[in-house]
Amino acid sequence: MLQQVIDFFVSPAYADSTAPAAQGGGFSFLMMFAVFFVFIYFFIWRPQSKRAKEQQNLLGSLAKGDEVVTAGGILGRITKVTDQYLIVNLATNVDIVMQRSSVVGVLPKGTIKTIE
């Protein structure tokens, strides 16, 4: 009785001794592999390298007087630029030394004045 109920919901699978030998599925595997790598290239690797290039251009173009925002959300005006570090003025007589790589964006001139 229980076997009949199980057979009603799940059809039994029987081995087919006359089945041909496994066909070569190498081409479909290679196509799947190629599609996977195309997907990785266009949706992950290419946009990431584009963002990295834009960030490098941004860091290379930093100059004295630029208003910047850091990764921590601090807004300030650059007062001195060296190879790896910046001196950023946050307020009157408040300067901090920070790494160039912590800058995530350059703000339009006058943005800090409008916020204060």
Residues 43, 48, 51: CA angle, nearest 5 degrees: 130
Provide the token pair at 28.
């479909």
Question: What is the longest distance spanned by two Cα atoms in the chain?
Answer: 89
Please tell me the predicted confidence (pLDDT) of residue 81. 94
28-76 tens-digit pLDDT: 888 998 999 999 999 999 999 999 999 999 999 999 999 999 999 999 9
Q: Catalogue all structural domains in the chain, each as residue range(s) with its CATH number.
A: 62-115 (2.30.30)
Measured distance CA(78)–CA(46) in Å, rounded: 32
65-105 tens-digit pLDDT: 999 999 999 999 999 999 899 999 999 999 999 999 999 99
